[in-house]
A and B are shown apart, each in its own frame.
Chain A
C-alpha cells in the first residue's frame, strides 16, 4: 500500500508526518534540528529516501542537511561527523553551507547591488536558503533559491554549490527590491518535459524563465500590474508570491501575486487575471490538483496589511475551471476566530488517486484533505509556526 510522508519545516525545527494511503492515522516524528528555522525540507522525486533540508539561524547562519534514509538520520553533505576533514592531499572537504555569490568577470555581468526599501542601491548579502528543488531525474542534482535572491545549483548531493549567475546577471537586477519578508527566490519549477526549462519567482522582482538550464534568464511578467510600483506594468519589480503548474501542462502557469491570482497559457510570456469571484485575492500559496490540470487551490488572506483570513474564517478556495470561478472549501476548517496565515511554501499536494491537499499555518496546525479539498482534518494542532510543507508518496 502507498505511504505518504509530509515534510514540515517550522520556525523551530522539522517534523515528518507519515500515514498510509488512507491518510487517517498519522505518526508525528520530530522535532529534527530543534530550535532552528527550517525554511524548506523536500525529497527527491525519484529517490524518496533522499531528503534535503535548509536549516538556518540568525546567529549561526545557513546549514544544509541531507538524509539518505527517509529522514531517519541526517548529515551535512561533505562534512559528516567523525569523518576526515581534508582529502589526502590536504584540500578541505566540501562545505555544504558555502553559498558565495559569483562576482567574477567571467559571468560577464558581475552584479553587486539591488534596490533597497528606500530606493537606494544596496549590496547583495546572503542570508539564507528559502527553497530547495531536487531534480526530477538525478537525486544528486538540486537547486537552491536564496535570500538575497539568487539561484544556486549542486551536482554532488549538496556538497558544493555554484551560483547560476545569469539570473542576477540579467540587466534588471538593480530594479529588484526586497518584499516585506526579504528579497528571496522562493519558487523553482522544473519542466518535466524539458529539464533545461525552469521557472523561478522572486519577491519582489517577479517571475523568470530559463531555457538553457539556468545560464540565461528572461523576465516573464507581462500582464502583471502592481500599484506600489512607479510603473505598475514594469518588466520587473513585481511581488510574485508563488507560481505553480501541472506536470502534464507545464506551459500553463498559475500565480498568486501579492494581490491578484494570475494565469499564463504560454509559459509566462503573458498573464491574465483569474481572481474572479474570490472575496480577496491577496494570499501566498497556490496549488494545482495532481490529476486535474484546471483545478487550482488558493487560500485568500484579508490584505497585505492584515495577514489573516477574512472574517476569521479559514477557507481554501478551489477553481475547477482554471480560475475565475471559485468555491469556498470549509468543511473541517475553523470558521470562527481564526487569524493565522499560510505562507507561500506551506502547502502541497500528493499524487494518490484521490488527490490529497495539505497546508500548514503560522499557528502550527497542519491540515489535510484526502478528497481533493471537499473536507479537511487536522493532522497536528500545535507545532511551531509552519514555514513549509512538502509531500512524498511511495510504496
Chain B
C-alpha cells in the first residue's frame, strides 16, 4: 500500500506544483485524473523518486521511502512507466525487457509480455529501442518494461497516450487481469473513461491538490456529470 502524506513540490522559482497532497491507496487499481497541468505527472515522478519532494512523506507498506533513490525504490518494488518513452541506441527491446525482469527471458515469456501491449514478439524483440520505432510502438514497449517487473506497485503515466484503440483495449484487459489476480497494486494516471470505469479508487488532482477522492462508484458519476455541465468554461 502506498501512503502519501502532505506532499509538496515547487519549481526552483518557488511556484508550487504539488501543494499538500495526502492519500492512501487501498490496493487494486487507483486512477489519478484531473485537468492538464494539475500536477499528476509530477506526483508520479515523486512516487518513482525521479523528483524529490520539497516536504511531506511517501510510505510504501508503512516504510518511509521519501529519501530513497530511483534505484532503491525500484528495488523496494516501485515500477514507473514514463509518459514519454526513453530511446536508446543499440539496446534492443529484448535487452530492456530482460533488464526489467531481472533475468534472461524465454521466447514464450517475451511473447506473452509483448502480447499484453498488443505487440508481436517476433517482430520486435531484436529491434533497437531507438528513434526508428513509432511513438505508439515505443510507448507500448515502455509499458511492457513495467509489466515485466511484476512490481509491488506500478505507476503508469497516461498509458493511453499515443497508442491505438486496439492496443488500448488490450491494455485495459491487462490492467483488469493484474487487478483480478492480485498481481500488484496499480496507480494509473489517465483521462480515459474506460480506465476510470475499472478503477477501484479515483483521485482527482487539480492545482496541485486533491479536489475529490474516493471509491469509483462515488467519484465517477460526479466526474461524468461534470463533463456534461462544465464542458465549456464560459458556460460554467
Is B one of A's binding partners? no
Interface residues of B (CB under 8 A from A): none
Interface residues of A (CB under 8 A from B): none
